[in-house]
Amino acid sequence: MIDLKKLAFASTIALAAGIGAAQAQGDLTVAVQLEPPHLDPTSAAAGAIDDVVYSNIFEGLTRFMSDGTVVPGLAESWEISDDGLVYTFKLREGVTFHDGTAMDAEDVKFSLDRARAEDSVNAQKALFTSISDVAIIDPLTVRVTLSEPNGLFLFNMAWGDAVIVAPESIDTIKTNPIGTGAFRFVNWVQGDRIDIEKNPEYWGTPARLDNATFKFISDPTAAFAAVMAEDVDMFSTFPSPENLPQFEADPRFQVLVGSTEGETILAINNKLPPFDNVKVREAVAHAIDRQAIIDGAMFGLGTPIGTHFAPHHPAYVDLTANSAHDPDKARALLAEAGFPDGFETTLHLPPPSYARRGGEIIAAQLAAVGIKAEITNVEWAQWLETVFKGKNFGLTIVSHTEPMDIGIYARPDYYFQYDNKAFQDLIAELNKTTDPNERTALLQQAQTVIANDFVNGFLFQLAKPVVAKIGLEGFWVNAPTQAVDLTAVGWTE
Amino acid sequence: MNRNLIIGGLLSSLFVLAALLSFVWTPFDHAAMDIPAKLKLPGAPHWFGTDHFGRDMFSMIMVGARTSIAVALVAVGIGMALGVPLGLTAAARKGSWLDELIMRGNDLVFAFPSLVIAILITAVFGAGALNAIIAIGIFNIPVFARITRSAALSLWERDFILTARVSGKSSARISFEHILPNVMNLLIVQGTIQFSLGILAEAGLSYVGLGAQPPTPSWGRMLADAQTMVSFAPHLALVPGMAIILTVLGLNLMGDGLRDYLDPRLRVVRT
């Protein structure tokens, strides 16, 4: 009898616990490292904005799936003219913005015209430069005319920078974003969190979650504590790879390591002597031991790269052997370049551990061949000011997380200041090419050119570790673009 | 000799010796990375284990002692070199506008939370050991100025000073020839205490990334680096943490012991 009582008592508790868990089924707290400066993805480069709004709040004509494929978004279908210049988009019917207004051709024209305008502050204006005209055929049909064929046009339209916004709400978009997505913006407590809720009027598959909260935790120790204490249900891109084995060993959590578009490079100021000498850059490349950096700074997380291209992309060429670790060769090259005793330079390191720890390792590796790199640790704001805008640096470490961004090497005013006419022509030709095979050939040629010019020290492809509670499913493991897409996320029954 | 002085002196000299020895010998090159051998627990040949880059912790602690001691020593030196003359001047001109100016200036510096200002200084002028020294040094000035002034004030009332004044010595000469030697004991005691606080401040600044920059080893930064790894490699935090605790404890004990031994007020009681 006593046993039965105990059993009944235990099942009551289990029932109560079950109810408790069921109530939380529709809620999710997800942590990301950085708080966005504001919430308009069409007017800033900050990836932290896309983390919160991409696909959740804002949608574009096309969109990325987790595996990197581009699928229809607000455009249901499209037709491309034979010369590749005219795209006719058929928009979905019955799509409304969160404020109740209809999403139609007007909004598409407004968004594209705004992004490509002369005074546009869009961080990726290059995505729109090939557009010469946007015309409204009827409320659900838009015709986009390009000035030249662009093989990447549909891909470009999937970026967070190309989402469709409404003219009615554009003035307050930075603090109160009104989009068409499966979630609505609710509240932003600066310095702490952003709340979003399910959009019941959503045109597509409704979100599984009722409420979601984004928390901002950049400190690795705080991140570890928050996950361990179950203050957050999921951490997208966990900051300290060294803690992952502990989560893996813990039955409460699942750890998934996905790929990102983040080429982590030792950026070299190509205009600053002695780095204007290709021999010196080659010496730097051979002084670096990638595996030591991946093991030491990332605890093994990351894929070595030999050029500025994502290894999971079909057009990737493995050029790591081109800049294999060879200190003797590095010393010989330095001597050839006129620096038998090496030289001194600076190494600016932004906060992420790939940079701070990787920087210490690289400084030691450079010192071994005679290059004395003085380390300066900087915050992101300072990095943007001094390195990215001011170009006042010798070396720096950063991860370029934009997809398909080899084109930055064709911009001579870009912060590492690589100026090669042949390469610029190559990229111009690539942009015009629509044939997939020809594109692959050109992309591979481009990868080889920058690898042979040793523009930067190509280190590794950043991995994306996601830590989530057991029972959570539907989140992105790979990051084809910076996003924490919650539209398919839910708890298993 | 009292017990505090002996224990404190032994602990402090241990670290000073380690720092001095590091100039000529360390078990391993403190900067040499050996990533496959990372996070080794203490044992032969790495007596304090290895860090996350496979560097020898024992060597890093030895060279780190050098950083800590150098920063704290110079900072205390700045404090003494500027604070003591200011205190002597204020005492000699007691009640004058100069005295007021010096002492209110002292109050002003005291009123700021020292570590916050140190962070501000290093943030504005850049992180590095030199700026850390200046930041910590500035906050030592009022400490020494105040203690010098209060001790000197009572000395100025004494008969031997009166004799000196009557014989025509200038107040500057009296300050340096008669007052200074008599406050020296106090300054040595205070200097020891400030030295230990300087080591703590250096560790604190390095911990937040504003002290000595890599690759110069620093105990504070070793602690900061260890943060995320404490749960699986506790020696990473324990080793520099114990080094800081023992050094500061040793210097404080030594300061207490020296006070018993040197402070004239306490000496009178004992005899």
User: The domain A261-462 belongs to what CATH superfamily?
Assistant: Dipeptide-binding Protein; Domain 3 (3.10.105.10)
Task: Look at A246 and B229 and tell me if their CB atoms are within 8 Å.
Answer: no
Q: Would you give the DSSP letter of residue A206?
A: P
For residue A18, how many other CB atoms are within 10 A of its CB?
11
Partner residue facing B209 (CB), from A220, A360, A377: A377
Q: What is the mean pLDDT of residues A415-439?
A: 91
Q: Which of A240, A243, A375 sits opposite B214 (nearest CB)?
A: A375
Locate A469 and state its tokens: 């509670």
Residue A6 has pLDDT above 80, yes or no: no
Q: What DSSP assignment string belongs to A57-116?
A: TB--SEEE-TTS-EEESSEEEEEE-TTS-EEEEEEPTT-B-TTS-B--HHHHHHHHHHHH
**A360/B209 touch (CB, cutoff 8 Å), yes or no:** no
Q: Give B-chain residues touching A357 at CB under 8 angstroms.
A: 52-53
Q: Is B209 on the interface with A (CB under 8 A)?
A: yes
For residues B14-26, average pLDDT: 93
Residues contacting residue A216 through CB under 8 Å, at least 6 positions apart: A31, A32, A33, A34, A35, A191, A192, A193
* Contact assignment for B228 to A363 by CB distance below 8 Å: no
pLDDT of residue A457: 96
- B199-208 pLDDT, tens digit per residue, is 999 999 899 8
CA distance B53 to chain A (A): 6
Highest mean pLDDT pick, A148-157, A331-340, B213-222: A331-340
Q: How confident is the model at residue A2 (pLDDT cuts 50, 70, 90)?
A: very low
Class of domain A4-39+181-252+470-491: alpha beta
User: Looking at residues A456-471, what average pLDDT do you find?
Assistant: 95
Q: What is the dihedral of CA A163, A167, A170, A173, to 10 degrees?
A: -50
Does the pLDDT at position B113 exceed 90? no
pLDDT of residue B212: 84
Note the pLDDT of residue A47: 83
CA separation for the pair A343, A267 (Å, rounded): 17
Whether the CA torsion B250, B252, B255, B260 is positive or negative: it is negative
A–B CB contacts, 8 A cutoff, strictly below: 55
Least confident of A23-37, A116-130, B16-30, B114-128: B114-128
In the predicted model, is pLDDT for residue B3 greater than 90? no
Are residues B53 and A296, on separate chains, in Cβ contact within 8 Å? yes
Q: For residue A151, give how far its alpha carbon lies from the nearest alpha carbon of chain B (Å).
A: 44
pLDDT score of A18 more than 60: no
- Kindly indicate the confidence band of residue A22, based on its pLDDT and cuts at 50, 70 and 90: very low
B228/A375 CB distance under 8 A = no
Rg (CA), chain A: 25
The mean per-residue pLDDT over the stretch B200-226 comes to 89
Question: What's the full length of chain A, in residues?
Answer: 493
- Residues A191-208: tens digit of each pLDDT: 999 999 999 999 999 999
B37 touches chain A (CB under 8 A): no
Indicate if the pLDDT at residue A276 is higher than 50. Answer: yes
Q: Say how far apart CA B130 and CA B111 lie, in whole Å.
A: 24
For chain A, the average pLDDT equals: 91
Residues of chain A with CATH 3.40.190.10: 4-39+181-252+470-491
Tokens of A182: 């499966």
Nearest residue of chain B to residue A291 (CA atoms): B35
More confident residue, A22 or A300: A300
Cβ–Cβ contact B264 with A under 8 A:
no
Does the domain spanning A59-169 belong to CATH 3.40.50.1820?
Answer: no
Burial class (CB in 10 A: 0-12, 13-18, 19+), A309: buried
Contact residues on chain A for B208, CB-CB shorter than 8 A: none
The answer to whether residue B54 neighbours chain A at the CB level (below 8 Å) is: yes
Do residues A319 and A446 make contact, with C-beta atoms less than 8 angstroms apart?
A: no
pLDDT of residue B214: 83
Q: Does A386 touch chain B (CB under 8 A)?
A: no
Q: How far is residue B153's CA from residue B159's CA, in Å, rounded to a whole number?
A: 13
pLDDT at A220 over 80: yes
Give the pLDDT confidence score for residue A24 in this predicted structure: 57
Confidence (pLDDT) at A21: 44
Would you call A246 an interface residue with chain B, using a CB distance cutoff of 8 Å? yes
A220 touches chain B (CB under 8 A): yes
**Distance separating alpha carbons of residues A34 and A47, to the nearest angstrom:** 9
Domain range list for chain B: 3-18+57-270
ipTM above 0.90, yes or no: no
Residue A161 is predicted with a pLDDT of 93
Closest residue by Cα to residue B249 from B184, B187, B195, B208: B195
Q: pLDDT tens across A383-414, in order? A: 989 999 999 999 999 999 888 889 999 999 99
Asked if the C-beta of A357 comes within 8 angstroms of chain B's C-beta atoms, the answer is yes
How are beta strands A75-80 and A472-473 bridged, if at all? unpaired
Q: Do B231 and A377 touch (CB under 8 A)?
A: no
Chain A residues touching residue B55 (CB < 8 angstroms):
none
How much is the pLDDT for B266?
60
User: CB-based contact (8 Å) between A434 and chain B?
Assistant: no
- pLDDT for the residue A8: 46
Considering the domain B3-18+57-270 in this protein, what is its CATH number?
1.10.3720.10
Among candidates A220, A240, A361 on the partner chain, residue whose Cβ is nearest the Cβ of B33: A361
> In this model, does residue A347 exceed pLDDT 80?
yes
Query: What's the start-to-end Cα distance of chain A, in Å?
Result: 33
- Please check whether residue A218 touches B, CB under 8 A: no
Chain B positions touching A245 (Cβ under 8 A) are 232
Q: Could you give the 3-state DSSP secondary structure of residue A32?
A: strand
Domain with CATH 3.90.76.10 in chain A: 59-169
CB-based contact, A221 to chain B, within 8 Å:
yes
B38 touching A (Cβ < 8 Å): yes
Do residue B35 and residue A296 have CB atoms under 8 angstroms apart? yes
Least confident of A312-326, A402-416, B118-132: B118-132
Please give the model's pTM, rounded to 2 decimal places.
Answer: 0.82
User: Quick one: average pLDDT of A291-299?
Assistant: 93
- Asked if B33's CB is within 8 angstroms of A292's CB, the reply is yes
A20 confidence band (pLDDT: 50, 70, 90): very low
pLDDT at position A123 is 86
Q: With 80 as the cut, is the pLDDT of residue A25 above it? A: no
- Pull the structure tokens for residue A483: 């996003």
pLDDT band at B1 (very low <50, low <70, confident <90, very high): low
Please tell me which residue of chain A has the smallest CA distance to B35: A296
Partner-chain contact B35 A295, CB within 8 Å:
yes
Non-local CB neighbours of A260 within 8 Å, separated by 6+ positions: A399, A401, A461, A462, A463, A464, A478, A479
Instruction: With beta carbons less than 8 A apart as the criterion, state whether B240 and B15 touch.
Output: no
User: In the numeric block, which tokens belong to residue B250?
Assistant: 């040793």
The Cα–Cα gap between B139 and B123 comes to 17
Q: Which pLDDT score is estimated for A402?
A: 84
